[in-house]
Structure 1
Amino acid sequence: MGIATVKVMKPVFKPKDERNAKFVLYPYRIYHIKLFYKRLKMSDRVMDYFAYVDCYRFGVERGDGIIDIQEWKVPEDAIMPSNITKEEAKQKAVESAFNWGNLMVISWWTPKVEVVKEVEAYKVFWIFKEDEEVYVMDSLTGDKFKFKDLM
């Protein structure tokens, strides 16, 4: 297996003994989308939407911005493959932004949607041993699960 250079979401949480931990990189596509609404007898409205598309399970989460990204050199076998194409991820992000925006703004017109930025990045999941038990930790939330319970 070779080494790949990838973008990862900067970990917030790490295991106590990071040097002996391994990791798996989970695929996401992150989008900054602008929605432009025309409104009757009111000023037009522009809204920002940040979509985090889970490229393994094909879900979308709304974010407050684009998280800090770092570039890592990693073994290729630590990277989980994406189950969707770049176009499918973009379509899902735009659909999510459109639905959210229409809940927030009343307009007779369909909004103009513009993808401002798109980033392919991976979320780090740490795998480590603690008290003779193997755990998996989400690097962004700090949530920790026993590996055996995930099977």
Structure 2
Amino acid sequence: MTTEPGSGPSDGTIPSDDPLPAADHPLVGDRHEAVSLPVIEPSVPRSSVDSAGRVGAVAYPVRVYEAEITVDRPLLSPRTDRSVISVDRSRRLAVRADTVPETTERRIEDVLVLPAELSPAQADEKAEEAAFKWTLRGSILADAPEIEFSRVVDAYKLFWLADRPDGDAIVDSVSGDERPFEG
């Protein structure tokens, strides 16, 4: 998949090749009272987070790929595997995912929107590298695998920040995993 880098104009508009706001966009890097964002549908509602005070939100930009990896095999027909790859564009990290998530446009209150450190093209490259590495672990390659992205989703993943007497906690809005906030 070929995508042009999304450097983004400085007038605050979202470039056509990157559906998420550029790092210099007024939404990014600041706390907002309320903002509308494309988000991965939370399975843990903000209201259900145990807190002694307010529950804030942090929005991480992610790009999720459904990839088809075709491996040529000597004396056998090619094998095609499918993989879902999630690239955290803020932390520059590619991880396996179970499914391509459902997304929705939501108005989020009291949120910090993190900037994307990777352009769409850099995220594509990171996803291709991950798919290639994962294919190497499961196959003996005679040639480089053909990697094709059949679906790409750009959105934000939300994390809830909860004030607690024993220390703040960060809660993944999708999985519900909690850990102490070390920020």
Report TM bin, short chain: 0.7 to 0.9
CA contact (8 A) 2:59 2:111 kept: no
- Which aligned pairs between 1:126-145 and structure 2 lie closer than 5 A? 126-131=160-165, 133-145=167-179
For 2:169 and 2:92, the matched residues in 1 are separated by 25
Q: CA RMSD in A?
A: 2.6
CA contact (8 A) 1:35 1:47 kept: yes
Runs of 5+ consecutive residues of structure 2 not aligned to the other structure: 1-25, 28-33
The alignment partner of 1:72 has SS state of strand
Q: TM-score, normalised by structure 1?
A: 0.82
CA contact (8 A) 1:40 1:107 kept: no
The alignment partner of 1:114 has SS state of strand
Runs of 5+ consecutive residues of structure 1 not aligned to the other structure: none
- Indicate the residue corresponding to 2:107 in structure 1: 73
Residue 23 (1) aligns with residue 54 (2) = no
Deviation at 1:16, TM superposition (A): 4.4
CA contact (8 A) 2:42 2:174 kept: yes
Structure with more of its chain in helix, by fraction: 1
**Which structure's relative contact order is higher, taking Cα pairs within 8 Å and 6+ residues apart?**
1
For 1:76 and 1:139, the matched residues in 2 are separated by 15
The alignment partner of 1:107 has SS state of coil
For 2:123 and 2:131, the matched residues in 1 are separated by 12
Deviations, residues 26-73 of structure 1 (Å, cap 9, x unaligned): 111111111112211112100111111111121110112212222212
Q: TM-score, normalised by structure 2?
A: 0.69
CA contact (8 A) 2:62 2:154 kept: yes
CA contact (8 A) 2:43 2:173 kept: yes
One-letter amino acid of the counterpart of residue 135, structure 1: A
CA contact (8 A) 1:125 1:137 kept: yes
Residue 104 (1) aligns with residue 138 (2) = yes
For 2:165 and 2:35, the matched residues in 1 are separated by 32
Deviation at 1:90, TM superposition (A): 0.5
CA contact (8 A) 1:33 1:114 kept: yes
For 1:62 and 1:39, the matched residues in 2 are separated by 24
**Once the two structures are aligned, what percentage of the paired residues are identical?**
26
CA contact (8 A) 1:34 1:116 kept: yes
- Indicate the residue corresponding to 1:5 in structure 2: 36
**How many residues end up aligned between the 2 structures?**
148
